[in-house]
A and B are shown apart, each in its own frame.
Chain A
Amino acid sequence: MITRNIKIINKHGLHTRPATAFVTLASRFKSDIFLIYNGVRVNAKSILGLLVLAVEPGSTVTVEADGVDEAEAVESLDKLAQNKFNLE
């Protein structure tokens, strides 16, 4: 299992479109992936879970992946966040 802290630098936080992009990407991996924010841990492949987290812009979230492709998963998700979810 690996974890990594990721900073959400896009303008509106993990709102609909970034969250959609995040879940879509996370779902491509075999590993179990979780997102931890403000002490709450949700399945990163669940859009409803992510929305309910209501991650605000500028905050840091922890990504936790466990499985055969965990390293690749964390790397890709980090990159997605760095690229502001390819939206801006």
Chain B
Amino acid sequence: MKKIKGVKISPGVVSGPVFYFERVKISVPGHFIGDEDFDSEIERFNTAVQKSKDELTQVRDLVLDHLDEEHARIIDVQLLAIQDEDMIKAVRELMLREKKNVTWAYFEVMDNYEKLLLKTYSKFFKERTSDLKDIKKRVIHHLSPKKDILQPEILEPSIIIAEKVSPSDLIHIDHKLMLGIITRYGGVDSHAGILARAFRVPYISNIEVIDELASCKEIILDADNGTILLDFTDDIKASYKSRIRDFRRHRGKIISGKVANSTKDGTPYHIYINAGFVDEVKAMDPALIQGIGLFRTEFLCIERNSIPGEDEQFKAYRNVLKKMKGLPVVFRVFDFGRDKLLAMLDIELLQEDHLFDEWGGIGFLLDNPAILKAQLRALLRASVYGNTQIMLPLVMFDEEVILTKNMLEAIKMELRKAGIPFSDNIKLGAMIETSSVLDELDELAKHVDFFSIGTNDLALYLIGSGRALDLTKNYYHPKIFQAIDKIVKAGKKAGIPVDVCGEMASDPYALIGLTALGIRSISVSSSALTAVSDEVSKLDVKKCSELADTILSTDNALAIYSILKKFHQDNLE
């Protein structure tokens, strides 16, 4: 038997055959056309090119505002190539000469350019084929009557083995066929990682021997322990049987019983779920859960590599609200951080750097009012279908909240005039996740109905480049706890609730610390829900609270970790 160690990205245990995953080949219809079809085929092509161009233009504007000229130029070359006059001429000629349908002709012309690029002597020019592949994919997508052509052909449920997976790969692979994921590259806080947890697919990364795995017949992926087993005996396999079966049984369900709504001593406690996809919400049973504490709306953009229009957004939000049957759903408006933009574009950062000085959040949306307005309109229209709350990411100044509220009021006026119903009871919250806003909390609290602490980004801002790549290590940093204490106190003073919606709350030790400082409402990923619910139901709030002073006066992360761990051992195990 061989054991390979990796980094756990998403929990679970599975066994099965492997599927070596490479970027999908596009399927191209191979039929010929008659002369009478020529004009309509060209028309279809023009529409597809125009749609692709519109999408890229929108993305380019975002990138320019948000990243830099350097990244925007990646899109410039695609924009030029997508409407290249020689290419279009070649497509027409091929259609006329060989009677191939437009998708086929386009594919061949682009393929030819790729081949020519690969023949050049420079690595740089060879690499440009990736741009060509991207635009080809985009245009053919718009040429296809069926939009799901980009799925790879996985024939049986398998463990996906790949160098890396992108968020859009994860979305396009049929989840029934994706038992687990193993990659060489990938991180816990990568978007693919968040998605894998959302879809409850076990995922391990940092595996060097991808090729060896790809040639295996059957493997066991034990993501809970960060291990992969190959060449195992039947005895070993049998020893995993019950865990694998349990995992399979529970995978379809977010939680088997009701989520705890109070601690051991009866103190009310809210545990909400973080979500980002309408499909993810479909698996949730509103009778068992308490609501969605963070709906990451920007995932709708990652799903389709562009920003959906108002109507499409409205439908998505409405479906989520209807499914939740009156439970609260906190929609965070688009948070186009650099990382999300890149995920949306499906491109790599040109150079690795950890200076996150250009974050997006609400400031970015206010700079791009058309995007914000369409989203707020969609949310307001959907609000009559359930308990809608709106949350603003990365708030820096109270002015940002005031401006957003003004916009909301203006939209309400429009809707009233048009006779479109909306709920007049929508709570508005601010995410607290930067260090600078910590000095503005009192002012900010006057304008919002709740604070929500985004611990991932807060750690980034407070600890900066010194933060550990393994996020869990940052949870115990004294600066984080001091900041949370400050936010909780500001919330109390203003009489507004404070919740935590970062990954921190799903760490059992950090959860004790949060509870000690007065947090009574958290939102965690669905894969962590059962475990967190168990932990909360075992907590004794009074005992936890006694830890507060110790935590706040301890000045190193390791010591805080030890204190919380000991408390957990003594009281919860």
Contact = CB atoms under 8 A, between A and B. Distances in A.
Nearest to B87: A48
A54 B84 contact: no
Given A12-B124, A56-B122, A20 B86 contact: no
A16 B73 contact: yes
A46 B85 contact: yes
B85 A43 contact: yes
Interface residues of B, number: 21
Contact of B122 (A13, A24, A45, A48): A13
Contacts of B74: 16
B81 interface: yes
A39 B76 CA distance: 28
A24 B84 CA distance: 11
A47 interface: yes
B86 A16 contact: no
Given A16-B73, A16-B128, A52 B80 contact: no
B179 to A, nearest CB: 39
B125 A51 contact: yes
Contact of B120 (A43, A45, A52): A52
Interface string B106-136: 0000000100110011101100100110000
B73 A20 contact: yes
Contacts of B120: 52, 54
A24 B80 contact: yes
Contacts of B132: 48
B81 A15 contact: no
Majority-rule SS of B interface residues: helix
Majority-rule SS of A interface residues: helix
B80 A23 contact: yes
A17 interface: yes
Interface in A1-46: 12-13, 15-17, 19-20, 23-24, 42-43, 45-46
B125 A20 contact: no
Interface in A30-84: 42-43, 45-49, 51-52, 54, 56
Nearest to A53: B120
Given A16-B73, A20-B73, A48 B81 contact: yes
B122 to A, nearest CB: 6
A16 B76 CA distance: 9
Nearest to B126: A54
Contacts of A47: 77, 80-81, 84
Given A20-B76, A51-B128, A52-B116, A46 B84 contact: yes
Nearest to B109: A48
17 contacts: A13-B124, A15-B124, A15-B125, A20-B73, A20-B76, A24-B76, A45-B86, A46-B84, A47-B84, A48-B81, A48-B87, A48-B132, A51-B125, A52-B116, A54-B121, A54-B125, A56-B121
Interface of A: 12-13, 15-17, 19-20, 23-24, 42-43, 45-49, 51-52, 54, 56
Interface of B: 73-74, 76-77, 80-81, 84-87, 113, 116-117, 120-122, 124-125, 128, 131-132
The 3 closest A-B pairs by CB, nearest first: A54-B120, A46-B86, A47-B80
